[in-house]
Structure 1
């Protein structure tokens, strides 16, 4: 038995479980299939209405698509309306069945009932494919020249869809679009301006032709702004909370922006009306804010004067204080583009930007605020700016904190006034939010240290070593901080004051780190400290390294055994574990081994040259690479011929090292 739509909705809402709902829907779907097979013409439009409801619930409705086409072909407007609604709801442009509807739409477009024509235009605007656009473009153009306002505005919007689907039709709509810009109806003007914007976007060469209508557009916008006397703004029917037709104002401003770009003359002619819109629009309403935002974007993109640009930046600055997160986001997004052109104008709104940065109510707004805030950083204000944002490192949002830390590290690297401030700030970041410091930022900091004079390196290693001396309780356990301490003590520990327990610092940092990347760096650092220390500290370093001989981590086990064997060769050890050379900027990306303190091996007179390969970093003469057989022979302890620069003592310690 047939169920009315309201009864079906009531039954579905009363279902307490998904199984009950599926049972109700399955029963109704079975009835609908049976009704479609029986060709129940009288109840077809009611069945399509129920089918659309099931579609909104997410159930399959493909079995009723052809019924929509049958309803469209019916002469009754009520049935035709349900048919078109079902067509737009149940189908999209990719459905093959849509090819059958082109003829029905064309027949309705040629009909005399304006409401049936309007339905066909709506369906075409929603479902049009490229083939349908080419087939029906003539009919749409004819309706655009109609004397009926209702049809002209719908045809203009439909033409937008046709142009998007078949860009080669853009010029076909030029005459009609230019003609519609002379209308006085708000609906027709909104459709005409929207069409003009789309045509200019699809074919920028049409901008010159639309500039002929610049006077009309300026006059139109002026009447909307003043909303007094006879004209476009005289009726309150199109006002939104006191703002005269904000939809039309926004579209006109968008079109003016396209017409003003690259044209000083057009930009000058529209400057007065833009200033009028900016000064007279009520910013307390969302509709007014939308108009102001579009006005500011137009001013900033055209060839406007400096005073007008300052006015636009001030508008965006006011929007930053708006309570609506969406409004603040679009203002921040616009200011990001402005700051690269005129940073001084945006600097005046730094307080509002930092307030948006501190507001944790919306993640996307904070993300955009970070991007804008750090665009304002210069060498003059970097110290004060970093001090202000440091308080935000206590935030609980890990994504926000990671992005903020990355921006702080980048700003410090680019604008640090002195190396010592650079070191102190990055160290503070490592202590406060070390887990959020990226590998690239840490690598960049360590590469920076290699390029500094010994006096600066001494400041860095002392500052980091103090974190592990018993002055401030237990050492921090941030992996990035531990990596930095281990690496710096391994490279620059010799600069610490006499009596500093380098081995003790490294052992404390390595505590409980077996199997981790930190332990790999720590073993290399201990070997370097042992190579330059006295016998007692060398033995202590060797003892700590030997703890990893039985590690389950293969890399740690290999390093521990190899470094332990290297301790037996005091003459060879300093050469193998020489300090890393300075890393230039172009080397940073390739310096994947920076945190691991990869040893730099001299090429001259170095028996390890064949084993470690041709580094060529010391500036000395480079030995010719050995043949493959010779390298294998050296590696296995065989008798490859020595190169011209190799040292060949009577008892070579390299043989003992390699013949384990």
Structure 2
């Protein structure tokens, strides 16, 4: 834009550039906006020149990022100006400041139409540019016919027709139902005969949009497209201005080949032969040169030609030529070319009869795994995964296992899954498969999902010849001084089932097996302890009564965990201890697991789901889950009138026989250790039935621990996140609840406490207590709601509805309408985290007691930090990751003021409660704090997050925070979450759980001495 002659505008821009900080700039902008507003109020005294100048200033201020909420009418009015300078300003500023739904645009429609149908070509171009930029529905309804007439008019200059084609393309993309293109087949064919390449390029863009919507109507355009390609390939009648580094109009070539890919086949043999001659010429004439611009243009044409070759299913000779050409590309030094070569070679795998040709380049592809660029490493991994078969599986899996040790955290989970799938699909023998999976768990246990070791258990269980070998390998790994917890789980399970097959081998006696497993017990989490207890029981079963010393050791462990607060561990310890005293009963209950039924691999299904995660498939999956039956467990605490100790009526508790064991639970991740799952009989408690454990546990019920009684995992769908529920949640007054029954304790404080711990009381009033207990694993969680009736009268009309935010998938079991007196109902709630967000789910709970109707809306502690897993990061791992995540939106920095004053040690403890692992020694400044964690969701999988806090010892109320991750939304949400926890603000109501994307974070300006008192903080790492 020409600004010469506008001294006021030039001075204003100069003033903005001379501002030393953001505050000065804001003051100068506010002053100028006030001046413009004043002048616009006295519009009668403004000359066209002055109005133009002030509108230019408004546009400049808007481009700086400030809101300009006035002066729109003045900008629109300039469109009607008779002179070009004012009209140009009106069109440019209107297209920048207003969107397609702005009311002021209606005022300009007639003026724009007059310019389009007028004879002034300059005004026509301005009007077409405005319509093409805004593309609103009203513009499409009013102006599309006029734009169409301009495009096919023979009296208009090519410049106008070119803009008309692009304008019509925008209108059609935005409003295909409004723009009438019926019967346009002949007109499009006529436009493709155009000799002017500018008009032809815009017409081809329009054709691509039309054939993508309905290719059947444009068959007559196909030969025309082939002729255009012939013309360009032979450089016939191509003006010099459309030749880019010796390549005739590369953009038109790409668009033409893209249009051809929307047609299923090329029927005519002459047309097909001509097309393949053109493609052959492109393939033969493309090579890597030193000029980057020419490379970009020629490669754009080449890779579109490769896509067309694959689409047309060309002869094997041409396919071989394509693969050979790509083989050259993946060996060059230019990373962009290597990336494109690997990506297109991966696409070539979908074509039959070329896999063997691609295998010739396997060494070079493996070398690409060590490339400094992570995007190239990802493409190489995808290509190796796709080209793997029985002939090369061993080599590829071995290379991937070696690469696993040096791969980034962001790739390790995906890499682990692919290694496991390849080992399963192409294993030459099952012992090799077991070796690979155990090596995988040993090298990357943190990133190995439970599905992988569940699958190993299935293979070992179903193959008797494999069981001694697997048990021996598990023993070898347990002998290592330090192994991952996942390795402890799989090794303990296998040894529990099959360690007796090794009894004749040296070092494999039951006592030695028990000793090596028991050494790992102090270091494992509570979710692994039940598996170890089951393994101890199995070992005990195979040694009774031969080894009293080992028996006493195991009994001592069971007695230790009889009073464990974790119900699952407590129940197993109690049951195993009592069963082991019965001898023969233990042999029956803990018999060897039967074979699993044949089914599709959960790993392969998981990979297929991740590769084809379309909206339709997600809807099908959702409907399937909605059809699952419901299940809720009721535990009644019946107190005798004589005041004797309470007896916990668990219904009829049965130990399932071997035939009743649910094999699906291993795939689904339910810990069902060695056949000891406890189920609730559906009969009422008073129904007579033989009770195997009644005499064992009748006097051992513990008040307050009704037992983690697990049935079949058939959970109800609960309330899904449809639009009605989203709207209801957005309007839910969580904090403003008017009930005659007042809660006991502060609901907000209870919620905040549960955000930092996994069990506690969510809500309590004189009649009911709602407790909650959570278990979190990767991106999934399981909350159990304990609804306890505190009175001697029943609670009726009980309803519980989950109002989930859009980023959580939640399934609540069926809640009974009545809770009996002094009874407790357990309602499992399954949670799946889809993507990062700070929105919270709400439990809409209501019940009736006597004449009191109580309704409360409670926030559920399924919050962002529940899906974090702290992970230690060394300096060798931290700094490359920190440097690779450079700048917004992956790395965000903010100076936070109003922080609750606390010592650095207190802040470290606070971060640990958020599941952020503080990494001491990484920052040389003793006043700074560095933390790391891994975030899990279905969309991001495992995502490493790095946090740096820089404090000012002189002022504890402010700090500078930097958060970095590989996902922009995660970075923003995690930064805001930590900020909310640190800043001393009054507790606010939760954000409405609507799917509103976070605002695009702006890069924080570097603090200066004038704008930031904490300017002496250390710089970025």
Contact kept in structure 2, 1:199 and 1:206, CA below 8 Å: no
TM-score by structure 1 length? 0.86
Cα 1:104–1:354, aligned 2, differ >3 Å: closer, same or farther? Answer: farther
Deviation of 1:655 after TM superposition, in Å, equals 1.8
Q: 2:579 aligns with which of 550, 566, 574?
A: 566
What's 1:272 paired with? 277
Deviation of 1:173 after TM superposition, in Å, equals 4.4
Contact kept in structure 2, 1:5 and 1:46, CA below 8 Å: yes
Query: Is 1:113 equivalent to 2:120 in the alignment?
Result: yes
Query: Is 1:434 equivalent to 2:438 in the alignment?
Result: no
Deviation of 1:44 after TM superposition, in Å, equals 1.5
Cα 1:215–1:389, aligned 2, differ >3 Å: closer, same or farther? Answer: closer
What's 2:722 paired with? none
Contact kept in structure 1, 2:593 and 2:658, CA below 8 Å: no
Larger RCO (alpha carbons 8 Å, 6+ apart): 2
Query: Is 1:95 equivalent to 2:99 in the alignment?
Result: no
Cα 1:544–1:187, aligned 2, differ >3 Å: closer, same or farther? Answer: same
What's 1:351 paired with? 363
Deviation of 1:612 after TM superposition, in Å, equals 3.3
d(CA) in 1 for partners of 2:131 and 2:450?
A: 54
Give matches, 1:296-445, under 5 Å: 296-342=306-352, 343-362=355-374, 364-445=375-456
5+ residue gaps, structure 1, are 225-229, 591-607, 620-624, 635-639, 647-651
Secondary structure of the 2:390 match is coil
> After superposition, what is the alpha-carbon deviation per residue over 1:224-280, rounded to whole angstroms, capped at 9, x for unaligned?
3xxxxx612xx4322333333211221222233334635363433311111011111
d(CA) in 1 for partners of 2:681 and 2:303?
A: 70
Deviation of 1:503 after TM superposition, in Å, equals 1.2
Secondary structure of the 1:572 match is helix
Give matches, 1:630-645, under 5 Å: 632-633=685-686, 640-642=688-690
Deviation of 1:399 after TM superposition, in Å, equals 1.6
Deviation of 1:330 after TM superposition, in Å, equals 4.1
Contact kept in structure 2, 1:210 and 1:259, CA below 8 Å: no
d(CA) in 1 for partners of 2:20 and 2:226?
A: 63
Query: Is 1:23 equivalent to 2:27 in the alignment?
Result: yes
Query: Is 1:237 equivalent to 2:238 in the alignment?
Result: no
Q: 1:62 aligns with which of 69, 76, 89?
A: 69
What's 1:600 paired with? none
Q: 1:148 aligns with which of 151, 157, 171?
A: 157
Q: 2:495 aligns with which of 489, 493, 498?
A: 489
Q: 1:123 aligns with which of 130, 137, 140?
A: 130
d(CA) in 1 for partners of 2:682 and 2:261?
A: 67
Give matches, 1:521-536, under 5 Å: 521-533=531-543, 534=546, 535-536=548-549
Higher helix residue share: 1
> After superposition, what is the alpha-carbon deviation per residue over 1:17-47, rounded to whole angstroms, capped at 9, x for unaligned?
3222211111111112122222223311211
Contact kept in structure 1, 2:654 and 2:681, CA below 8 Å: no
> After superposition, what is the alpha-carbon deviation per residue over 1:120-144, rounded to whole angstroms, capped at 9, x for unaligned?
1111111122332232122212222
Query: Is 1:537 equivalent to 2:550 in the alignment?
Result: yes
> After superposition, what is the alpha-carbon deviation per residue over 1:409-431, rounded to whole angstroms, capped at 9, x for unaligned?
11001111001111111111111
Contact kept in structure 2, 1:507 and 1:544, CA below 8 Å: no
Mean alpha-carbon deviation: is it higher for 437-446 or for 236-245? 236-245
d(CA) in 1 for partners of 2:176 and 2:56?
A: 35
What's 2:258 paired with? 254
Contact kept in structure 1, 2:579 and 2:586, CA below 8 Å: yes
d(CA) in 1 for partners of 2:7 and 2:698?
A: 89
Query: Is 1:35 equivalent to 2:48 in the alignment?
Result: no
d(CA) in 2 for partners of 1:396 and 1:310?
A: 32
Give matches, 1:442-521, under 5 Å: 442-453=453-464, 455-469=465-479, 474-476=481-483, 478-498=484-504, 499-500=508-509, 501-513=512-524, 515-521=525-531
Secondary structure of the 1:586 match is coil
What's 1:594 paired with? none
Cα 1:140–1:386, aligned 2, differ >3 Å: closer, same or farther? Answer: same
CA RMSD of aligned residues (A): 2.8
Secondary structure of the 2:234 match is helix
Contact kept in structure 1, 2:652 and 2:685, CA below 8 Å: no
What's 1:167 paired with? 176
d(CA) in 1 for partners of 2:181 and 2:383?
A: 38
Deviation of 1:327 after TM superposition, in Å, equals 4.3
5+ residue gaps, structure 2, are 1-5, 290-294, 604-650, 663-678, 701-1021
d(CA) in 1 for partners of 2:326 and 2:133?
A: 35
d(CA) in 2 for partners of 1:496 and 1:488?
A: 12
d(CA) in 2 for partners of 1:653 and 1:34?
A: 87
Contact kept in structure 2, 1:420 and 1:456, CA below 8 Å: yes
Mean alpha-carbon deviation: is it higher for 275-284 or for 147-156? 275-284
What's 2:734 paired with? none
Contact kept in structure 1, 2:540 and 2:554, CA below 8 Å: yes
d(CA) in 1 for partners of 2:258 and 2:478?
A: 61
> After superposition, what is the alpha-carbon deviation per residue over 1:149-198, rounded to whole angstroms, capped at 9, x for unaligned?
11111111112112223324223644443222222222112112112222
Cα 1:492–1:503, aligned 2, differ >3 Å: closer, same or farther? Answer: same
d(CA) in 2 for partners of 1:571 and 1:587?
A: 37
Cα 1:67–1:214, aligned 2, differ >3 Å: closer, same or farther? Answer: same
d(CA) in 1 for partners of 2:299 and 2:400?
A: 29
d(CA) in 1 for partners of 2:27 and 2:477?
A: 68
Query: Is 1:547 equivalent to 2:600 in the alignment?
Result: no
What's 1:263 paired with? 267
Deviation of 1:118 after TM superposition, in Å, equals 0.7
d(CA) in 2 for partners of 1:355 and 1:186?
A: 43
**Structure with larger Rg:** 1
Secondary structure of the 1:268 match is helix
Give matches, 1:576-587, under 5 Å: 576-586=589-599
What's 1:604 paired with? none
d(CA) in 1 for partners of 2:658 and 2:33?
A: 76
d(CA) in 2 for partners of 1:291 and 1:212?
A: 19
Secondary structure of the 1:62 match is coil
Deviation of 1:542 after TM superposition, in Å, equals 1.8
d(CA) in 2 for partners of 1:121 and 1:407?
A: 51
Contact kept in structure 1, 2:192 and 2:224, CA below 8 Å: yes
Mean alpha-carbon deviation: is it higher for 486-495 or for 309-318? 309-318
Contact kept in structure 1, 2:185 and 2:221, CA below 8 Å: no
